[in-house]
Structure 1
Amino acid sequence: MTHISRRAFVGTGLGTVASLSPLSLASAQPSSLQDIGGSALTSPAATIYIAREVVTLDPVRERAAAVAVVGDRIGWVGSLEEVIAALGSQSYSIDRRFADKTIVPGFIAQHDHPVLAALTMSSEILAIEDWVTPGRTVKAVRDKRDFLERLSAAASAADNAEPLLSWGYHPAFYGDLTRADLDAMTTDRPVFVWARSCHEMILNSAALEQAKLTREVVEGFAATARRQSNFGEGRFWEQGLFAALPFIAGTIASPERLRTGLLLTRDYMHAKGITFGNEPGGILAKPVQNGVNSVFSSPDMPFRWSFMPDGKSIIDKVADDSQVILETEKLVSWYGGMTGMTTKQVKLFADGAIYSQLMQVREPYLDGHEGEWMTDREVFERAFRIYWDADYQIHVHVNGDAGLKRVLDTLEANLRRKPRHDHRTVLVHFAVSGADQVERIARLGAIVSGNPYYVSALADQYGKVGLGPERADAMVRLGDLDRAKIRWSLHSDMPMAPGDPLFLMWCAVNRLTASGRVASAQQRVSALDALRGVTIEAAWSLRMENEIGSITPGKRANLTILDANPLAVDPMEIRNIKVWGTVMEGRVLQADGATTLPDSGRVSVSVSNPAFDRSALAHALKAAYSGHPI
């Protein structure tokens, strides 16, 4: 039979083959008109979802009122009358529960970190921004006094014997926090404060005692770790935090805490309308991955999750170039059910982290400090070459304009050495860049996954400290990318930003800073482009545009159900739109608690397993340190 493409078939209109959906043709592949009629009669029943409006992001038909779903796939999109006509004699039911809702393509979390999110979400959140989590809303901390008062209330509200972990304190916003501050609150209950950047932790005296972190232990750390520890203040940062890891991991990253946090993270992401997620730089500790799988691989998960190999760690361990790809592909056996490994994609790292201002920049920082490289040039170039030659899509963490130059230099050298069509090299985060670099990105065929939250959270402060107002305001220059016709998507890097696609859209569309001003208005983007950034462009960046990202016949039936149309509301209201829930591969899942998601069971690792605890916390710290030398 002559192949009929999905778009060619849809484009012919209802007047030609009005009785069949593209799904019927694709599944039956009949050889005659008689066979076509027979295949329709035996097709499974369809469910037609009616909505106030369906925003498809499919250029063949951008707006509709009804979507027909057969099994886990989209069968037809159009008006109710058109869809019924297209189904012909195929049985169907009409579901009207979304009649006053807007249906958009299922949201995609292009770049998030489940383990780090789990450990932070299961803590006492006291951060620089509001966090709306299942069952509670945590308002942003106003100042240091507010932090200590709220932490003290949390410490008094539960069993004093149980350690208290808090996450979110930011010294650049509230000033330094020390052991003495925490001891003034309580000397009986162990208190661990994990800073917002996840690069620093402050312990009170009871926590130091419980962890057996004595002055003698700290004095025995290696030289750099010792310099990055202050026992008197109970502070451990950078290498000092990694040196303290074996002592604190059992409290911070036990299997029980991980499981609890993963369930919270699952429910949080579902409440935000996410139907597919991805972690670049996936877990390389099998027991920890098993713990994640115990929740995320369950058939009851409201979204699928993929893990992208951490190429830097693999390169560091494998000296033989010929064995790198083999070692990478061995990881595919680690996943199953609702988890999987990305196909021929890898994560590499260039320069330093945004929250610690260690990105590599072309013009000096205002205070004279220097950025850092996560990967030495020769190692980065080796890794890029090996994966490029194996036809991998390469995603690179890069935050500074000097870091971007190194990545683009390496990309261009490989393009000249071994040209590749549609390589889709992804520039991840894209914090500081130059207007002059945008043309080069376009010319080299790279794409961008940007984090628009950097502007909202950091532009005001970084305009005063480190970058200066011009560079700080121009961070994540999506407007320039648009004008250069460079494809881009949005991500949160959860928990570095709230894993909320509507909030990311709001950040990109408004570029409103913490003080309420607009930073670089020319870098704002339209609501339509922002919606594409958390749907079809996110799918494109993961090479999944033929499966997810738009409401198109033949794709997975992944839909996000909203109370309002984000393309029609005032741009300032985008983040306030309520998510009703999702349709995930044909399953209707309400997000307000009406759909009960199961506790997927306890991880199959003993609570007192020190190796698990250290591996879990090490992976979480590595995710937080992405692009930060450790």
Structure 2
Amino acid sequence: MSNTTIFSAKKIITMNYSRPEASHVAVRDGLILGAGSLEELATWGEYTLDARFVDKVLMPGFVEGHAHTMEGSLWTKVYCGWFDRADPNGKLWTGAKSVDAVIERLQEAETVLEDPTAPLSGWQLDPIYMDNTTVTRADLDRVSTTRAVGVLHASGHIMNVNTKALELAGMLKPGLNHPGIPLGADGFPTGELKGPEVMTPVGPFVGYERSMLDADEAGLRNFAKLCVRTGTTTITDLASRMDEKTVDMMLRVTGEPNYPVRLMPFRFFMGLSAKELIAAVLALKERTTDRLRMGQIKIIVDGSIQGFSARLRWPGYHNDAPNGLWYIAPEHLSELLHLALEAGLQVHTHTNGDQATQLVLEKLAPALQKHPNPNHRFTLQHCQLADSAQFRTAAKLGMCVNLFANHHFYWGDEHYALTVGPDRATRMNACRTALDSGVPMAIHSDAPVTPLGPLFTAWAAVNRITASGRVQGEEERIQVHEALWAITMGAAYTLHLDGEIGSIETGKKADFAVLDADPTVCDPILLKDIGVWGTVQGGRIFPASNL
């Protein structure tokens, strides 16, 4: 029997400029032998013709350059989000539209907990849609005063907990002096915790006993289901603690014959000194496999804009909220950038606010002067408020950007009215400016912050439509072919994987997204509605219907 399979399709969009379309693709040993006509590919010798995709459109497997495997584990907790959302098994959960609705959902979940000491965990709380109400420990005490209750915000940067949780963590006391711990009129914490530094000590008491950034084994498998359902074949876990047990589990699970995704975890910078972090990541790099690519660093510089914890330059927040939080000292950032360049390790930095972006640009420039590397591809993640001058500087420094296109839909109206005001809201996630400035660009979902779905992300960048239906910042819209490039070759480039994935051409991984319709000819407004049959990953076939 031949070890070459030729797949026929209604159309193959290759993202390879020298041969942009084909009718067939040949696969051997998990790699692409070639794309073209059947007659051309038959010259390679004996083959098996597989016509199962004859009515489908094939694209390169989508590459999600900013996501978190923790979404797979979060579905074991109570969904408290504003928007309707599908879980890994395809079930649609309705959104909770008020604080009372969130409390009712948590109360319902609390009644079925048999262990009276077990914590109750929720996720995806989005109070900016609830008149920007602050959820307090008194609110969550309505769920229980005897068990710890904690709810993670949609941004992942804020958590609300009840009185019992604060008590168990030793934080129910007056006068705590930390910018991430707001105090009430009584001098006690309100129950809102901002940033990992103050969330982490409470996490184990509210059901986030593992690092809040990591998935457990079941979660890693659930996460893979989401990938297949969305056409994603390579995805990052962009901030993992990567302790020894977690790495062993990830190696074992991703190494299973039917695991359908190539996972690229980035080691989170907190918890180790700069030198210790570099040594740890170099050791991880030695253990990398095809489906678990290790050896990269994630730095978080500030918080979230909708959580008012991002660092903004003048004039600050539109509603006069105080400026956000620094997650890293400038000296620590500088040291990490220097050491990473010296060691040849890639760094992706989270910068939501433009002040945070400016800090990275200013610290990277002297690091590159001391450790020149024309192919470092250090990437600004989110980079939501960058202006044209910052994009030009990023391009000169050889940086990439991965912009948060989904934000236009999920929080665009709130940014316009509340967080940054009309002028800056219309240029947030400025894809057009980034491309015109010559910055290599990807776009992302930041799942679980927004749902994983590269076609939705492409739709968001092409249309820039908010949840209320407005077009916000039409000048920053990009073309469909540019958006499709951003979720394939663009994202692959930011990960140093563009020689392996991102296009359908000879020698690359046989990774395909199998679509029900052609995104290059449909009305751009319908881009997000194209169905995904499943994926092919390394030549292995994964129908979504079999999940």
Within a 5 Å distance, the mapping from 1:195-344 to structure 2 comes to 195-203=153-161, 208=164, 213=167, 218-219=172-173, 223-224=177-178, 227-228=181-182, 235-238=191-194, 240-249=198-207, 258-311=216-269, 313-316=271-274, 318=276, 325-332=278-285, 338-342=291-295
C-alpha distance in structure 1 between counterparts of 2:142 and 2:229, whole Å: 38
CA 1:130–1:296 in 2, change beyond 3 Å: closer, same or farther? Answer: farther
Asked if 1:469 corresponds to 2:422, the answer is: yes
TM-aligned CA distance change 1:153 to 1:571, over 3 Å: farther
What's 2:528 paired with? 575
Q: How far off is 1:50 after superposition? A: 0.8
- Give the alignment of 1:4-403 within 5 angstroms: 44-84=2-42, 86-87=43-44, 90-114=45-69, 116-133=70-87, 134-155=89-110, 164-174=120-130, 175-182=133-140, 184=142, 191-203=149-161, 208=164, 213=167, 218-219=172-173, 223-224=177-178, 227-228=181-182, 235-238=191-194, 240-249=198-207, 258-311=216-269, 313-316=271-274, 318=276, 325-332=278-285, 338-342=291-295, 345-365=296-316, 366=318, 367-403=320-356
- Alignment deviations for residues 364-417 of structure 1 (CA, whole Å, 9 cap, x no partner): 223051233222112211211122233333322222222222222223323444
The 3 A distance-change label for structure 1 pair 330 and 371 is: same
Change (3 A) 1:99 1:370: same
TM-score by length of 1: 0.77
Where 1:219 maps in the other structure, the secondary structure is: coil
Secondary structure at the aligned position of 2:202 is classed as helix
Query: Distance in 2 between the 1:45 and 1:326 partners?
Result: 42
| Aligned equivalents of 2:128, 2:113: Cα separation in 1 | 30
User: What residue in structure 2 maps to residue 17 of structure 1?
Assistant: none
Partner AA of 1:102 in structure 2: V
Mapped contact 2:385–2:424 kept (Cα < 8 A):
yes
Q: CA deviation at 1:244?
A: 2.3
Between 363-372 and 256-265, the greater mean CA deviation after superposition: 256-265
Structure 1 residue 501: Cα displacement: 0.9
- Which of 458, 470, 487 is the aligned partner of 1:505? 458
- In the alignment, what sits opposite 1:604? none
Alpha-carbon separation, structure 2, partners of 1:280 and 1:384: 17
Among 541, 545, 562, the alignment partner of 2:498 is 545
- Alignment-mate amino acid for residue 124 of structure 1: V
Instruction: Give, in whole Å, the separation in 1 of the partners of 2:386 and 2:215.
Output: 38
State the match for 1:558 in structure 2: 511
Could you say what secondary structure the match of 1:475 adopts?
coil
Residues 94 and 487 from structure 1, CA distance in 2 versus in 1: closer, same or farther, beyond 3 angstroms? same
Task: State the shift of 1:358 in Å.
Answer: 2.6
Q: SS in structure 2 opposite 1:460?
A: helix
Q: 1:579 to 1:419 in 2, by over 3 A?
A: same
| Superposed CA RMSD | 3.2
Deviation at 1:215, TM superposition (A): 9.9
Question: Where does residue 373 of structure 2 map in the other structure?
Answer: 420
Q: Which residue of 1 aligns with 2:479?
A: 526
User: Is the 1:459–1:469 Cα contact (8 Å) retained in structure 2?
Assistant: no
Instruction: Go from structure 1 to structure 2 and tell me whether the alpha carbon gap of 1:554 and 1:457 turns closer, same or farther (over 3 Å shift).
Output: same
Q: SS at the partner of 1:74?
A: strand
Aligned equivalents of 2:83 and 2:208: distance in 1?
28
Q: TM-score with structure 2 length normalisation?
A: 0.88
Q: 1:229 to 1:292 in 2, by over 3 A?
A: farther
- Report what 2:449 is aligned to: 496
Letter of the 1:508 partner, please give it: A
Displacement after TM superposition at 1:421 (Å): 2.1
| Contact 2:510/2:536, CA 8 A, preserved across alignment | yes
Asked whether the 8 Å contact 1:298–1:338 carries over to 2, the reply is: no
Q: Indicate how the Cα distance of structure 1 residues 537 and 337 shifts in structure 2: closer, same or farther if over 3 A, else same.
A: closer
Contact 2:12-2:59 within 8 A present in 1 as well: yes
CA distance in structure 2 between the aligned counterparts of 1:445 and 1:156, rounded to whole angstroms: 55
Report the Cα distance in structure 1 between the residues aligned to 2:136 and 2:473, rounded to whole angstroms. Answer: 37
Moved more, 325-334 or 454-463: 325-334
List per-residue Cα deviations over 1:10-56 (Å, max 9, x = no partner).
xxxxxxxxxxxxxxxxxxxxxxxxxxxxxxxxx95311111111000
Residues 405-461 of structure 1 deviation map (CA, whole Å, 9 limit, x = unaligned): 222222332344444323322111111111232322233322211111122222211
Asked if 2 retains the 8 angstrom alpha-carbon contact of 1:399 and 1:432, the reply is: yes
8 Å contact kept, 1:126–1:169: yes
- Whole-angstrom CA distance in 2 between matches of 1:212 and 1:577: 46
Give the residue type in structure 1 aligned to 2:456.
F
User: Which residue identity is paired with 1:66?
Assistant: H
Shift of 1:226: 10
Q: Count how many residue pairs are aligned between Structure 1 and Structure 2.
A: 537
1:350 CA displacement: 3.0
Deviations 1:530-549 (A, max 9, x none): 11111111111111111111
Given that 1:312 and 1:383 are in contact with CA atoms closer than 8 Å, whether structure 2 keeps it comes out as no
Q: Is the 8 A contact 2:57 2:518 kept in 1?
A: yes
Aligned to 1:588: 541
Distance in 2 between the 1:550 and 1:507 partners?
A: 22
Q: Which residue type is aligned with residue 224 of structure 1?
A: H
Post-superposition offset of 1:110: 1.2
Describe how 1:450-465 pairs up with structure 2 within 5 A: 450-465=403-418
Higher Rg of the two aligned structures: 1
